[in-house]
Amino acid sequence: MSRLLNKVAFITGAAGGIGLAAAKLFLQEGASVIMADRDADLLEDARASMEELTSAEGSFNIVKTDVTSQQEIEQTVAHIQRKFNRIDIAVLNAGIPGANMPLEDYPVELFDQVMAVNMRGVWLGMRAVIPLMKQQQGGSIIMTSSIQGLSALPGTTAYTTSKHALVGMMKGAALELAEFGIRVNAIHPGYVETPMMEAIHHAVVPDAPEKFQASIASSVPMGRYAKADEIARLMLFLASDESSYSTGSSFLADGGILAALPTF
Ligand SMILES: NC(=O)c1ccc[n+]([C@@H]2O[C@H](COP(=O)([O-])OP(=O)(O)OC[C@H]3O[C@@H](n4cnc5c(N)ncnc54)[C@H](O)[C@@H]3O)[C@@H](O)[C@H]2O)c1
């Protein structure tokens, strides 16, 4: 239970499903965790659930941060620098789904918003942590992409575009930062039980969200959604020294979805 002992971890979207699961796991593994999210109420709820982890070896702080704001991200990273003078792990995880609608009807403002959070927000986060990671000659940057960073679904082109963009960003950054001992990788979750998916179920089939979830789950080779903790465990591997030779790579946790061809 000390795979991240003495490491400092910065997590964005840390008050949501996957981000909070990662924060809890990293805390239990001994890290000092800085939890950034734009939603102050959710952050307070997250604080309460982190405080319940009495057996945890690490420590945590919450910092309200909107990843679309260069100023807020840089202020948060400066705060971490003053407090710890290092960042070993950056989990750039904040994301929004956008809407599900035909491309020609998709509001341009919403497209821009999805890009600002899912793509530009990750780039800004990475840009902000690099100087400190270079100074300490090491670090692990983990981006939360999606199976939609490798394949597409109709009606969600903005989200798909933003998550594909992370693959290129991750590869370019990995090459640029390898000589400094900084590793950069992307994870690609399938369907995960989180508030984001719950909101999607309600938005797409308001009358029968559970039925909709069950029909999606039945299309997954493993027959179920992931728990957020199962995604956090992949993040833990990439955050820890156990992945010391992995950089510039995509890591899937999708219950077999992308392995499948249509059946007939
Ligand atoms: N849930 C899934 O099935 C699934 C699958 C693949 C990928 N993902 C990705 O995983 C990541 C986490 O998703 P989740 O399912 O935990 O969603 P979630 O909605 O539970 O959590 C996302 C968190 O990000 C925060 N956030 C949104 N915009 C932000 C901003 N501008 N600045 C700071 N924080 C912001 C939200 O407040 C929320 O707490 C996202 O990038 C998502 O695209 C999720």
What does the pLDDT look like over 106-129, one tens digit per residue?
Answer: 999 999 999 999 999 999 999 999
Quick: pLDDT tens for 213-258. 999 999 999 999 999 999 999 999 999 999 999 999 999 999 999 9
Dihedral pair phi/psi, residue 171, rounded to 5°: -65, -45
Query: What global pTM score does this model have?
Result: 0.98
21 close to ligand 1 (CB < 6 Angstrom): no
Distance separating alpha carbons of residues 169 and 181, to the nearest angstrom: 17
Catalytic residue among 106, 159, 191, 225: 159
For tokens 């939609």, the residue is 148
Ligand 1 pocket residue status of 160, Cβ below 6 Å: no
Whether 191 lines ligand 1, by a CB cut-off of 6 Å, is yes
Tell me whether residue 106 is one of the annotated catalytic residues.
Answer: no
Alpha helices (H) along 106-258: 108-115, 121-135, 157-177, 195-204, 209-219, 228-239
What atom of ligand 1 comes closest to residue 195's alpha carbon?
A: 20
Task: Tell me if the domain spanning 8-192+227-254 has CATH number 3.40.50.720.
Answer: yes
Handedness of CA 213, 219, 223, 224 (dihedral sign): negative
